[in-house]
Amino acid sequence: MSKSFLLFTIIVVISFGLWVLYASAELQRFTQPCKSDGSLDFLVVGDWGRRGEYNQSEVAYQMGEIGEKLDIDFVISTGDNFYDNGLTSDHDPFFEESFTKIYTAKSLQKQWYAVLGNHDYRGDAEAQLSPFLREIDCRWLCLRSFIVDAELVEMFFVDTTPFVQEYYTETEHTYDWSGINPPKSYVSNLLKNVELALKESSAKWKIVIGHHAIRSIGHHGDTQELIDQLLPILQANNVDFYMNGHDHCLEHISDTKSPIQFLTSGAGSKTYRGDIQEKGEGLKFYYDGQGFMSVQLTPSDAKIEFYDVDGNVLHTVTSSKQLYSSF
């Protein structure tokens, strides 16, 4: 082997290594345009994929109605996209049976941004990340963690399932950890990436989306791992809203140590009536039936509404930001 070829090989390897280090230090970023007036409207739904059963189709219908009324720009899914055990592959017909053929309203033919839930990890988790699904239905975009930059708001999607320690030891179900090994390093790097991205964000609004609740009085309750590891980062970086699914309910809890509002939208299909823990501090609203959530944003105001399966508004959250003029 010539010295010049050897030197070229070393340079290529080093350059590739630097590229890998750089790529791993940033979350993938997508751009979502606002309306011409600078506003943004979207829906949030979670825990839904059941071939239309358990009122999934009825919730989808009302989402279409509200979506048309608000002229929504996109939809967010908070995970547990396909029950009970995710997809078997990126050719699984369950994808079309529970997504494409259910959310058929014209207003819902917009981009969908989705995270994985614990039930998604029980199947082939990487199937939902496959570009092939976007060939089947171009609305679908699901990644482990990523950022959507919509000008006045940045949305940080966080893969929360690997945080939860009980999933690594339970014997009733198996989880597909193939894309995140070793989990400890994966979670550590993810936290660093999220913290860096939040610190660098200059967006008027900051929203973090994950599957698991940080605070909840529903069946699963608080997620202690997120309280210990993720919440301090959100509190230190002026996050406005944390949105999640996991508990099959609609819920609003205010953080007691920061302005963060915890908003659960995990009622896209099957729910459990009366499955509620002792009411905790900061609880503003709880509903144990099916439904979804809408978000309306302007540079100065946020309005969030929770809807039931009949399209009735159950609870409204408002927040305002002071606009300063420069002279």
Q: Which residue ranges make up the annotated binding site?
A: 47, 80, 83, 118, 211, 246, 248
Is 8 among the domain residues?
no
Is 13 among the domain residues?
no
pLDDT at 141: 98
pLDDT at 5: 40
Report the Cα–Cα distance between both ends of the chain, in Å, rounded: 66
Q: How many domains does the chain have?
A: 1
CA distances from 189 to 134, 176, 181, 234 (A): 27, 19, 12, 16
Residues catalogued as catalytic? 220
Q: How confident is the model at residue 324 (pLDDT cuts 50, 70, 90)?
A: low
Is 327 among the domain residues?
no
| pTM (2 d.p.) | 0.91
Half-sphere exposure (CA, 13 Å, Cβ side) for 144? Answer: 22
pLDDT at 240: 98
Q: Which residue ranges make up the annotated binding site for Fe cation?
A: 47, 80, 83, 118, 211, 246, 248
Is 22 among the domain residues?
no
Domain of 165 in residue numbering reads as: 31-320
Is 6 among the domain residues?
no
Task: Indicate the residue type of 62.
Answer: Q
Span 139-159, mean pLDDT? 97
- What are the backbone dihedrals phi and psi of residue 294, each rounded to the nearest 5 degrees, phi first? -120, 150
Span 107-113, mean pLDDT? 98
pLDDT at 11: 36
Span 31-45, mean pLDDT? 97
Is 10 among the domain residues?
no
CATH number at residue 179: 3.60.21.10
pLDDT at 161 over 90: yes
Is 9 among the domain residues?
no
Is 20 among the domain residues?
no
